[in-house]
């Protein structure tokens, strides 16, 4: 797709704009603002794929508060981020809708993705070709089962590639060894992360730079 945003096109300034779009989208829905900035940017007007992750920060502790995204390029990237932010805040089935009093503690992360591609190797070779710290994974079986994990997830949990595959299978509602089944598709994609250190203070990081949070470590 010629007009799809590539992760190489994006820099910190575009990332700041994307996070700002996500923050303002949620603020508008919570009626914390009555205006929305029209952020014009040629790159962000291209179609794109993205996930928005919300975390609640209390001291040095972060807890997931919502994560929704799009793996089909159905709209300009800035609109994808806008819609994903609202969905992550108010429509993630794992959490109740975000409340106004919670928002001051929310940290926003936007991950822009490349187009997912099927990993076309013999099933037993998958752990050898999946690159932890670079690849995100999608596991699909028919139209009923699908699971996705972003490329930063295995870094955060200190997984090797086989554990990453197993956890993506579990996310899809399948057995941990589903990646070995011939009727299961495994797709991978790359990503770049724009993350708030605190509200409106954004950094750009690669998945490989995400720190492993081992049990017992802060």
Dump pLDDT digits (tens) for 123-169.
Answer: 999 999 999 999 999 999 999 999 999 999 999 999 999 999 999 99
Asked, for residue 21, whether it belongs to a domain, the answer is: yes
- Model confidence at 209: pLDDT above 50: yes
Tell whether 121 and 149 lie within a shared domain.
yes
Question: What percentage of the chain carries pLDDT values higher than 70?
Answer: 95
Alpha carbon distance 35, 108 (integer Å): 20
Alpha carbon distance 91, 83 (integer Å): 11
Partners of 203 in the beta sheet?
195
- Model confidence at 103: pLDDT above 70: yes
Alpha carbon distance 213, 95 (integer Å): 23
Q: Count of alpha carbons within 13 Å of 65, Cβ hemisphere only?
A: 22
Mean pLDDT computed over 35-49: 84
Tell whether 26 and 80 lie within a shared domain.
yes
Domain ranges, residue 126: 117-188
3: pLDDT confidence band, cut at 50, 70 and 90? confident
**For 64-102, what is each residue's pLDDT tens digit?**
999 999 999 899 999 999 999 999 999 999 999 999 999
Q: Count of alpha carbons within 13 Å of 205, Cβ hemisphere only?
A: 16
- Model confidence at 218: pLDDT above 50: no
Asked, for residue 217, whether it belongs to a domain, the answer is: no
Tell whether 35 and 124 lie within a shared domain.
no
Q: Are strands 61-70 and 117-118 parallel, antiparallel or unpaired?
A: unpaired
Helix (H) or strand (E) holding 209: none
Asked, for residue 200, whether it belongs to a domain, the answer is: yes
Alpha carbon distance 20, 149 (integer Å): 24
Please state the φ and ψ torsions of residue 86, each to the nearest 5 degrees: -65, -40
Q: Are strands 191-198 and 201-205 parallel, antiparallel or unpaired?
A: antiparallel
Alpha carbon distance 163, 185 (integer Å): 17
Tell whether 79 and 136 lie within a shared domain.
no
Asked, for residue 131, whether it belongs to a domain, the answer is: yes
Alpha carbon distance 68, 87 (integer Å): 6
Asked, for residue 48, whether it belongs to a domain, the answer is: yes
- Model confidence at 215: pLDDT above 50: no
Name the token pair of 16.
Answer: 């700041």
Asked, for residue 215, whether it belongs to a domain, the answer is: no
pLDDT of residue 51: 98
Mean pLDDT computed over 19-35: 91
Tell whether 138 and 90 lie within a shared domain.
no
Helix (H) or strand (E) holding 132: none
Please state the φ and ψ torsions of residue 110, each to the nearest 5 degrees: -115, 125
Please name the residue ranges forming H helices in the chain. 12-29, 77-90, 126-129, 153-156, 161-171
Tell whether 102 and 195 lie within a shared domain.
yes
Tell whether 17 and 104 lie within a shared domain.
yes
Tell whether 182 and 200 lie within a shared domain.
no
Tell whether 92 and 151 lie within a shared domain.
no
Tell me the pTM. 0.92
Asked, for residue 214, whether it belongs to a domain, the answer is: no
- Model confidence at 35: pLDDT above 80: no
Tell whether 175 and 194 lie within a shared domain.
no
Alpha carbon distance 164, 179 (integer Å): 10
Give the CATH number, domain containing residue 94.
3.30.700.20
Give the CATH number, domain containing residue 164.
3.30.1490.150
Domain count, the chain: 2
34: pLDDT confidence band, cut at 50, 70 and 90? confident
Tell whether 173 and 73 lie within a shared domain.
no
Asked, for residue 151, whether it belongs to a domain, the answer is: yes
Alpha carbon distance 167, 161 (integer Å): 10
> DSSP letter at 70?
E
Tell whether 26 and 106 lie within a shared domain.
yes
């Amino acid at each position: 797709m010629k007009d799809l945003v590539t992760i190489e096109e994006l820099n910190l300034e575009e990332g700041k704009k994307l996070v700002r779009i996500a923050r303002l989208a949620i603020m508008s829905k919570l009626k914390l603002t009555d205006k929305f900035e029209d952020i014009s940017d040629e790159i962000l007007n291209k179609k794109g794929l993205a996930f928005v992750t919300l975390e609640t920060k209390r001291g040095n502790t972060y807890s997931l508060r919502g994560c929704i995204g799009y793996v089909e390029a159905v709209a300009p990237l800035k609109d994808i981020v806008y819609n994903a932010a609202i969905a992550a805040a108010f429509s993630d089935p794992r959490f109740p809708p975000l409340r106004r009093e919670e928002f001051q503690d929310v940290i926003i992360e936007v991950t822009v993705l490349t187009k997912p591609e099927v990993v076309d190797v013999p099933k037993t070779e998958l752990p050898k070709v999946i690159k932890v710290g670079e690849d995100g994974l999608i596991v699909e079986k028919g139209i009923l089962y699908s699971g996705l994990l972003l490329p930063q997830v295995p870094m955060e949990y200190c997984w090797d590639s086989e554990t990453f595959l197993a956890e993506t299978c579990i996310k899809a509602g399948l057995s941990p060894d589903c990646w070995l089944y011939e009727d299961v598709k495994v797709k991978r994609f790359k990503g770049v992360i724009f993350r708030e250190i605190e509200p409106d203070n954004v950094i750009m990081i690669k998945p490989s730079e995400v720190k492993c949070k081992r049990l017992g470590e802060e």
